[in-house]
């Protein structure tokens, strides 16, 4: 009887010893890779990761503009800067064959100067300024409801959008290379575009 109890005690102590000294791997710890060469890629940090809505409310991936030089502009139809549409259209016509595109995003956040529906805005811009570059659905560029595109643009050239007709120049790799404030001369904007082309 004493011998049996001694053996049982010895077994218990041995098991406790090995349990305490055994290397344990918890579910939260990474398992050995065993030579696995899988690489987790970082998400692309370019404009092509975004989709926006067109005037009909359909989603448009900006990846369709890959390889082009882009000028992204928040616009308004009743602003003191609205006549910039004339220069924007001229610049677009001059350089579109070289791979240049203007992306127009109407925004009513500044002085409520872009009232009306998308159709109202588009009819005004095509009728008055004869624009032919892509125009998208109205968006917010600041605040809680800001478009993810504009959150990203502002992260690259920090500061909230101050007013209508702020412009971001995007190179052929989809990267923000310059930001222009509404009062910057269109000659300055055009020269920067030419450098990217």
CB 41 within 8 A of CB 76: no
Residues 6 or more apart whose CB falls under 8 angstroms from that of 65 comprise 47, 48, 101, 103
Rounded Cα distance between 104 and 124, Å, is 14
Rounded Cα distance between 146 and 1, Å, is 81
* Residues marked as catalytic: 79
Specify the 3-state DSSP secondary structure of 166. coil
State how far the alpha carbon of 125 is from the alpha carbons of 76, 113, 117, 169, 176, in Å.
10, 14, 12, 21, 26
Angle at which helices 84-95 and 186-196 cross, to 10°: 20
């Amino acid at each position: 009887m004493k011998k049996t109890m001694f053996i049982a005690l010895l077994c218990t102590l041995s098991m406790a010893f090995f349990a305490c000294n055994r290397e344990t791997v918890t579910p939260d710890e990474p398992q050995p890779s065993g030579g696995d060469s899988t690489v987790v890629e970082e998400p692309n940090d370019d404009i092509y990761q975004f989709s926006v809505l067109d005037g009909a409310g359909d989603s448009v991936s900006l990846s369709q503009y890959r390889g082009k030089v882009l000028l992204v502009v928040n616009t308004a139809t009743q602003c003191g800067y609205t006549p910039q549409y004339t220069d924007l259209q001229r610049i677009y016509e001059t350089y579109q064959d070289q791979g240049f595109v203007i992306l127009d995003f109407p925004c009513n956040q500044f002085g409520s100067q872009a009232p009306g529906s998308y159709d109202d805005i588009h009819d005004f811009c095509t009728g008055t300024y004869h624009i032919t570059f892509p125009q998208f659905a109205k968006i917010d560029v600041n605040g809680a409801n800001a478009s993810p595109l504009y959150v990203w643009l502002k992260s690259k050239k920090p500061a909230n959008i101050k007013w209508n007709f702020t412009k971001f120049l995007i190179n052929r790799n989809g990267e923000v290379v310059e930001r222009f404030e509404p009062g910057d001369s269109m000659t300055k904007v055009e020269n920067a575009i030419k450098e990217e082309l």
